[in-house]
């Protein structure tokens, strides 16, 4: 295997976005004094971080840890995107949430934004309670030119391949991260530049996700709902991801790792760490070489998907829901129990199933993995 550490590291230009502008905005040097003392960042690097904008897709275990680390590091703007809400089982590992969030079923993106505001009110945090899909990715990540980096903290490959398509299309770097059981993994993706682009990006391109895994995994895939998860694995994945992000945001892309790195924290044997070289794109890759963005076009993408926790997500209904009116209507239904609502979602129980409805018409139905059952419940109580 080729050693990426031995590749030449040429001098690279500054990032072709807002980070390349003069760094003169004031920052709280006392707050970040210990980070500024670190020679790899220094005062100049801290200014770059303050001017950076990072989008985090997924605010569960890894996303919560990643968002916390970046906010505490002084990254100036964070965009948080998540489709889910806080539950008691999240509190074992999702460090930005508390029992009140779980009791109120607060959407994770909004709960994360509120907690970050309590420990760093000087940065800007945008929260989006949404499932990232081909139809909304451009809007949620717009204006793309203002976002310097995408961070994958999702729990499914469908979204990762969508993000890979979009990042390659837009020539935006992104970092894959995963954690399940005692396993943690990360990979930096530095896209091949757009053909005939006026300026080359300040990095040597790496393999994209489709170069390493040409097709999404099929069959049963381990999740934290089937294999469990250690909070230590989550925090390792987040720490590795954020460290790589800091290198990029401080204009040091030549220091970025060019491997898919994975750890098993539990085995304690020599095979607990592995690396796959990702230094060069696959010349036959359909995404970064032939620029075929099938996931971005939404080809054959289902509107009803499994989303863990013995749950089905329905996201085909792109329509606004008047939650207060819906609550009044449902409160009169004899089959409904434990009806709760806030300005972000509505939740109720019907027999063995719990339905959570969001203001955009999306719903998560817990207690089944059968899409037909989920669709039936949705149509009966919400409408078709």
Instruction: Examine the domain organization and report whether 183 and 83 are in the same domain.
Output: yes
What span, in angstroms and rounded, lies between the C-alpha atoms of 136 and 361?
14
Residues 193 and 235 in one domain: yes
The reply to whether 230 and 376 lie within a common domain is no
Where is average pLDDT lowest: 15-19, 156-160, 317-321?
15-19
Reported pTM: 0.82
The 10s digit of each residue's pLDDT in 353-371 is 999 999 888 899 999 888 8
Domain boundary among 255, 280, 297: 297
Backbone φ, ψ for residue 139 (5° rounding) = -70, -40
The SS3 of residue 116 is helix
Same domain flag for 97 and 236: yes
**Domain boundary pick from 265, 297, 329:** 297
Q: How many domains does the chain have?
A: 2
Among 173, 101, 164, 105, which Cα is nearest to 132's? Answer: 164
**Are residue 268 and residue 337 in the same domain, yes or no?**
no
Greater confidence (92 vs 309) lies with 92
What are 61's two structure tokens?
A: 């275990």
- Verify that 181 and 198 share a domain, yes or no: yes
- Distant-in-sequence contacts of 327-335, Cβ < 8 A, 24+ apart: 330/381, 333/381
Q: What percent of the chain has pLDDT over 70?
A: 86
Host domain of residue 151: 4-297
Q: Sorting pLDDT into bands at 50, 70 and 90, what band is 301?
A: low
User: What is the number of helices (H) and of strands (E) in the chain?
Assistant: 13, 14
Do 236 and 254 fall into the same domain? Answer: yes
Does 259 have pLDDT greater than 70?
Answer: yes
**Same domain? 74 vs 191:** yes
Higher local confidence (pLDDT), 84 or 78:
78
Q: Do 371 and 281 sit in the same domain of this protein?
A: no
More confidently predicted of 195 and 65: 65
How many residues in total does the chain contain?
A: 384
pLDDT-derived band at 316 (thresholds 50, 70, 90) equals low
Instruction: Answer yes or no: are the C-beta atoms of 281 and 269 closer than 8 Å.
Output: no
Q: Is the pLDDT of residue 19 over 80?
A: no
Q: How many CB atoms lie within 10 A of CB 225?
A: 15
User: Is residue 339 domain-shared with residue 360, that is, in the same domain?
Assistant: yes
Distance CA 233, CA 231 (A): 5
CATH number of 373's domain: 3.30.310
Domain of residue 180, CATH code: 3.40.50.720
How many whole angstroms separate alpha carbon 80 and alpha carbon 67? 8
Return d(Cα 347, Cα 327) in angstroms, integer.
9
User: Are residues 376 and 321 both part of a single domain?
Assistant: yes
Q: Summarize the confidence of residues 98-125 as an average pLDDT.
A: 96
Domain end (from 241, 266, 297): 297
For 342-354, write each residue's pLDDT tens digit. Answer: 888 999 999 999 9
Q: What is the DSSP string of 327-342?
A: HHHHTT-TT-EEEEE-
Residue 224's alpha-carbon distances to 64, 132, 229, 260, 267, in angstroms, are 15, 20, 5, 21, 18
**Same domain for 355 and 263:** no
């Amino acid at each position: 295997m080729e050693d990426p550490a031995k590749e030449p590291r040429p001098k690279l230009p500054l990032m072709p976005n807002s980070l390349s502008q003069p760094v003169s905005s004031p920052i709280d040097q006392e707050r970040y004094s210990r980070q500024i003392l670190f020679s790899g960042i220094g005062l100049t690097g801290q200014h770059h971080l303050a001017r950076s904008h990072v989008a985090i897709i997924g605010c569960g275990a890894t996303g919560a840890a990643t968002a916390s680390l970046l906010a505490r590091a002084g990254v100036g703007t964070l965009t948080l995107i998540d489709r889910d809400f806080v539950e008691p089982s999240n509190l074992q590992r999702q460090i930005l949430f508390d029992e009140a969030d779980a009791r109120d079923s607060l959407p994770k993106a909004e709960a994360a934004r509120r907690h970050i505001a309590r420990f760093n009110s000087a940065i800007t945090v945008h929260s989006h309670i949404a499932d990232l899909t081909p139809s909304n990715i451009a809007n949620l990540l717009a204006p793309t030119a203002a976002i310097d980096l995408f961070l994958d903290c999702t729990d499914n490959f469908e979204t990762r391949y969508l993000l890979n398509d979009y990042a390659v299309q837009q020539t935006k770097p992104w970092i894959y991260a995963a954690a399940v059981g005692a396993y943690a993994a990360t990979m930096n993706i530095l896209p091949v530049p757009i053909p005939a682009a006026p300026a080359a990006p300040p990095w040597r391109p790496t393999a994209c996700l489709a170069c390493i895994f040409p097709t999404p995994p099929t069959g049963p895939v381990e999740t934290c709902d089937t294999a469990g998860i250690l909070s230590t694995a989550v925090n390792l994945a987040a720490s590795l991801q954020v460290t790589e992000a800091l290198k990029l945001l401080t204009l040091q892309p030549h220091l970025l790792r060019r491997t898919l790195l994975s750890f098993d924290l539990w085995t304690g044997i020599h095979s607990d760490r592995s690396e796959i070289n990702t230094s060069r794109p696959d010349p036959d890759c359909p995404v970064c070489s032939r620029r075929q963005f099938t996931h971005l076009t939404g080809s054959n993408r289902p509107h009803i998907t499994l989303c863990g926790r013995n749950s089905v997500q329905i996201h085909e209904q792109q329509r606004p829901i008047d939650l207060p009116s819906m609550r009044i209507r449902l409160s009169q239904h004899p089959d409904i129990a434990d009806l709760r609502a806030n300005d972000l979602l509505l939740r109720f129980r019907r027999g063995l199933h719990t339905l959570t409805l969001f203001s955009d018409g999306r719903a998560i139905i817990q207690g089944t993995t059968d899409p037909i059952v989920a669709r039936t419940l949705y149509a009966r109580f919400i409408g078709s």
